[in-house]
């Protein structure tokens, strides 16, 4: 059995399939007295679940399981975090996914701590290696902090956008963008394939954080550009190409 890492994912080769896992965590963010940043508790798990789900779905995985670790009591902290997970699973169209997890009931905690682990299965990773000449597009506008509303914001990437990219034969690689920003992910993509990323003028903030996968970049074959532009319209921005 071979195990390796692809970007932020761990991949385990089984005899007939791949088991792919993603994880995320946070600490000091929430509604407890010791938290550094005061945020409604459910948003912690919403954002963490979104990041893991986007990473797995972008490589063609089918989500099969989810576990969470809650450094606090079930009521009210744990219940709010689990509600946030359920809310995001509903957005992803997998609201019936079983959730396993653990809480801290022995000791009183004064700071919120949360971890999430998501598993997916695939016959193969949905990756066609990027090559020189590929166009790099971005779906959605980067948002984080107070500017971010995950439910119903038409300007950020959603699960249908991701599915459209996954199913399109002209799309090579799909990469959700997070706190390191769009430019970082595009440059890293180019470097992996011994290319350079050549930017083109656009109106996006490609340097600052893109929050919890509010945007998705993709390397695409040039011939696919007109069709994808017609599908995504104003939600799509050409940010550069590989050379």
Q: Distance (Å, rounded) from C-alpha 243 to C-alpha 37?
A: 42
pLDDT at 88 over 90: yes
Give me the pLDDT at residue 146, please: 64
Give me the pLDDT at residue 84, please: 96
135-143: average pLDDT: 96
Give me the pLDDT at residue 7, please: 85
Give me the pLDDT at residue 134, please: 97
Model-level pTM greater than 0.85?
A: yes
Give me the pLDDT at residue 147, please: 67
37-65: average pLDDT: 95
115-142: average pLDDT: 95
Q: What is the mean pLDDT of the chain?
A: 94
The 10 Å Cβ neighbour count of residue 96 is 7
CB 101 within 8 A of CB 116: no
103-128: average pLDDT: 95
For helices 225-232 and 159-167, angle between their N-to-C axes, nearest 10 degrees: 160
Q: Distance (Å, rounded) from C-alpha 150 to C-alpha 77?
A: 20
Give me the pLDDT at residue 163, please: 96
Reported as a single tens digit per residue, the pLDDT across 3-39 is 999 888 999 999 999 999 999 999 999 999 999 989 8
Give me the pLDDT at residue 144, please: 83
Reported as a single tens digit per residue, the pLDDT across 109-119 is 999 999 999 99
In DSSP notation, 120-150 reads EEESS-------TT-EEEEES----GGG---
Give me the pLDDT at residue 1, please: 80
Reported as a single tens digit per residue, the pLDDT across 145-183 is 766 776 778 899 999 999 999 999 999 999 999 989 999
- Coil, helix or strand at residue 114: strand
């Amino acid at each position: 059995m071979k195990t390796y890492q692809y970007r932020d994912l761990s991949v385990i080769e089984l005899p007939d399939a791949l088991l792919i896992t993603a994880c995320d965590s946070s600490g000091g963010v929430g509604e407890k007295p010791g938290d550094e940043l005061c945020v409604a508790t459910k948003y912690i798990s919403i954002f963490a679940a979104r990041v893991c789900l986007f990473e797995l779905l972008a490589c063609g995985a089918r989500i099969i399981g989810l576990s969470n670790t809650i450094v606090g009591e079930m009521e009210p902290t744990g219940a709010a975090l689990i509600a946030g997970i359920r809310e995001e699973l509903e957005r992803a169209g997998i609201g019936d996914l079983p959730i396993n997890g653990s809480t801290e009931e022995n000791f009183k905690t004064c700071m919120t701590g949360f971890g999430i682990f998501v598993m997916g299965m695939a016959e193969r990773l949905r990756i066609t290696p990027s090559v020189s000449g590929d166009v790099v597009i971005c779906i959605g506008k980067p948002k984080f902090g107070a500017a971010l509303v995950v439910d119903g914001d038409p300007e950020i990437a959603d699960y249908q956008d991701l599915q459209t990219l996954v199913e399109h034969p002209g799309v090579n690689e799909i990469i959700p963008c997070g706190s390191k920003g769009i430019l970082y992910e595009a440059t890293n993509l180019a470097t992996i394939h011994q290319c350079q990323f050549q930017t083109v003028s656009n109106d996006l903030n490609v340097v600052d954080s893109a929050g919890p996968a509010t945007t998705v970049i993709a390397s695409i074959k040039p011939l696919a550009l007109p069709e994808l532009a017609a599908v995504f319209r104003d939600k799509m921005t050409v940010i550069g190409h590989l050379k």
